[in-house]
Structure 1
Amino acid sequence: MLKPVGSRCNLNCKYCYYLKQSSVTEIMDLQILRRAIEETILLNDTPEISFCWHGGEPLMAGIDFFIKAVELQNEAVEKKVRNGFRKPIIINTIQTNGTLINSNWCRFFRENNFLVGISIDGPEDIHNYYRINRAGERLYEKVIEGLELLRDNNVEFNALCTINSKSKGRGREVYKFLKSKGVKYIQFLPVVDPEKEWGVEAEDFGNFMKDVFREWWENEDAGSFYVQLFDVALANYLGVSCGLCQFNPSCGDVPVLESNGDLFCCDHFVNSSNYLGNLNDISLDRVVFSEHIATFGADKSATLPVICKNCKFKTLCNGGCPEHRVLKQSQDFYLNYLCKGYKMFFEFALPYFKQMAEQICSDRM
């Protein structure tokens, strides 16, 4: 994950966790950008290499920054092929609040095959409640304009939708709304902040996802509309790697590069304990294969409380994201704040997972 402007953003969303951590807001300079891209491509021997551009608001780096990034990617791929290695497929994803999207951005995204994630929390009253700019303005209409530009210009996009206190009891409504806007793939992100008004309660999260699943199932949306939680839980049910760190047994596969070159184990743990060094002083391969990041990844399973290890749903969630483990159990072990909600959802969805798994196995015969 690369953060070209660090945590800088043109919005000031009340629940944003970046407000609590990194103060890096400079634009990534060419030297760091070049080194990050070259080392990622030249040192990686996988058939596909992904660059996830995040923020803050990455579009604040400007379109010329990303034009240069694509040029550097192409140069590194050519160099790799000249050195006798196979040509990798480069995948670019970018997460944006949608307010800066225009026709020029759409043309760039389409021509360079960027997958765009756009942040939208649902209908206007939900979206506008906590998502404001620094002047206190609510920009729902601007976000919808950006989403429609992506859709109408045939840019591949998906939606990142937080579940917060204002989403309570409105799972069906939010899902139907996103479908109506042409969203085919949805990542629901629960806001865990127990001491703040915007945090979602575990039970409310579980009920929200159950309602979304009901709407998805009753309309036979499987294969046409995708909800990340459904996909990854089903993959884990089938014993296939789900590809999402928070539901894998270990994490640490996605180190984050701040715009000043600082490297951390994870975007949710940008702190001194998880600092890996600066790209100006250390190579990426030393970071990726370091004992520090290996320990960070292994700790996810090593610090699971007993209640998780004995849970019948353990293989579906693997304890969830360590960032959400805030409910103290015994010793230094903590339970995921959303545990009750996940259990509610998995208990409800398990018969459907079994049915889908049987269908998948039947189709493969």
Structure 2
Amino acid sequence: MAYCDTLIIKIASRCNINCTYCYMYNLGDDSYKNQPKFISQTTIDEAVKKIGEHCKANNVTKFTFIFHGGEPLLMPKDKFVEMVEKMEMLKNDGITISYSLQTNAILIDEEWCSIFDKYNIGVGVSIDGTKEINDKYRVDKQGKGTYDKVIKGIEISRKYQKGHLGFLSVINLDLDPMAAFQHMKSINALSADFLLLDLNHDTLENEKYDVEKTPSANWYIKIFDKWFSSSEEERIQIRLFDVIIHRILGGLYSIDNIGSGENSVLVLETDGGLEAVDVLKICGDGFTKDNVNINTHNFQDALNAPLAEIYYNSGKYLPKKCLACPVNEICGGGYLPHRYSSKNGFNNAPVYCNDLLKLITHIQNAVIDGMPEELIKESEIQKLTYENALQIIEETLPTIPEPEYAKKLESFRNLEYEVV
């Protein structure tokens, strides 16, 4: 039975900046306009109550809250503390609770740092490479760059907060990847992740992205080679690379955009809506709305909703091309939002299919090159080139029957597409 052990809480549905590529506000979903600016304490009360019930019914002993927005630090500090104190009560039921928060860092001050330390809240900061690139895309409401304000927030955090910051950066193909990597080093990042720009098959053409040339894979590979050749002391943690290597070596660790594990994550909106992952908003206005609300439903209701079920099983509900792919257990079909098209719903390989295949085969071969000869023989692991992998897919694809769940994937297609 599906279960939830991680809840992304949209504690604020507004933001203090206006990133051009933001899936919340600038990619066609306007549902935030009909939602409260902040989540209410009544909704938090109901969420905490039903989380306790859900954990007990499903033997979930560890639960994670991720505070998100919009910009979560827009929430008044006293309301934030009141909310966390309610979540702390779950520990009385024997549930281990952990917290993280994603912010643009502009509003970080000494008092916020004290709150983060008191409740052991891990903080992630969004920043896109160098000042020039960041200020082109991560702008304020007046269109001005935000880099200097973000750096100031980082400095305040490091002065007053005990825990280290993690960093998220959306990759920009206009920025030299080594400049992006060195920038992370220059701000003393200990952990970071570089995210693909959120595209699907409907928006791919607008971005003029050439999937055959695998520009994102080429970008990642330059960073990976430098990162992988670094000493353990010099190497910062890059989640994407860590997960891929873990999967190559037979580990089960997955995240929602890499790996074949279940995605036991739900999103709680400020109006109490319980939904699948928020990036699915790029698929259309109101796309994530399944009419499930924490005030009238429970977590199992949300997990049983059609979109949430597809998201939960996205590493297993793979289209035929992914089933024919020799690295599908590592890739898990990539990120579900990147598979969508109006024509076929989610019954497509992700738009970054070739990029992921090229990156994974490159990393796998680098890992094999670093393994002792005896271990290679014992594990029977073999190198696989990107070109050979493409050939395997081409030869295997005609032999793959349409999976039973294909109708579920296609049920999300836009019916208007067939009329056009």
**TM over 0.5: same fold?**
yes
* Residue 9 of structure 1 pairs with residue 20 of structure 2: no
Structure 1: runs of 5 or more not aligned: 81-86
Q: What residue number does 2:191 align with? A: 185
The answer to whether the 8 Å contact 2:336/2:346 transfers is no
Distance 1:333 1:183, change over 3 A: same
Greater Rg over alpha carbons, structure:
2
The answer to whether the 8 Å contact 1:301/1:318 transfers is yes
Matching of residues 200-279 of structure 1 within 5 Å = 203-221=214-232, 224-249=235-260, 251-270=262-281, 271-272=286-287, 275-279=290-294
Between the two proteins, what is the percent identity of the paired residues? 24
Structure 2: runs of 5 or more not aligned: 1-7, 377-420
* Residue 163 of structure 1 pairs with residue 171 of structure 2: yes
Q: CA RMSD in A?
A: 2.9
Q: What residue number does 1:84 align with? A: none
Matching of residues 279-298 of structure 1 within 5 Å = 279-288=294-303, 293-298=308-313
More off after superposition, 197-206 vs 10-19? 197-206
Q: What residue number does 1:319 align with? A: 333
List structure 1 segments (4+ residues) > 4 angstroms apart after TM superposition: 195-202, 221-224, 289-292, 326-332, 355-359
Aligned residue among 34, 43, 50 for 2:45? 34
The answer to whether the 8 Å contact 2:277/2:311 transfers is no
Number of residues paired by the alignment?
350
Q: What do residues 297-353 of structure 1 show as CA deviations (whole Å, max 9, x unaligned)? A: 33653341x322121221111110121115799897312111121122122211223
> Which secondary structure does the structure 2 equivalent of 1:76 belong to?
helix
**What is the rounded CA distance, in whole Å, between the counterparts of 1:146 and 1:310 in structure 2?**
47
**What is the rounded CA distance, in whole Å, between the counterparts of 2:361 and 2:273 in structure 1?**
42
Distance 1:323 1:310, change over 3 A: same
More off after superposition, 145-154 vs 320-329? 320-329
Q: What residue number does 1:83 align with? A: none
**What is the rounded CA distance, in whole Å, between the counterparts of 1:66 and 1:217 in structure 2?**
40
> Which secondary structure does the structure 2 equivalent of 1:118 belong to?
strand
Deviation at 1:71, TM superposition (A): 1.0
Deviation at 1:5, TM superposition (A): 1.4
The answer to whether the 8 Å contact 1:158/1:184 transfers is yes
Deviation at 1:198, TM superposition (A): 9.6
**What is the rounded CA distance, in whole Å, between the counterparts of 1:101 and 1:221 in structure 2?**
31
Distance 1:15 1:25, change over 3 A: farther
TM-score if structure 2 supplies the norm length?
0.76
**What is the rounded CA distance, in whole Å, between the counterparts of 2:342 and 2:321 in structure 1?**
12
Q: What residue number does 1:151 align with? A: 158
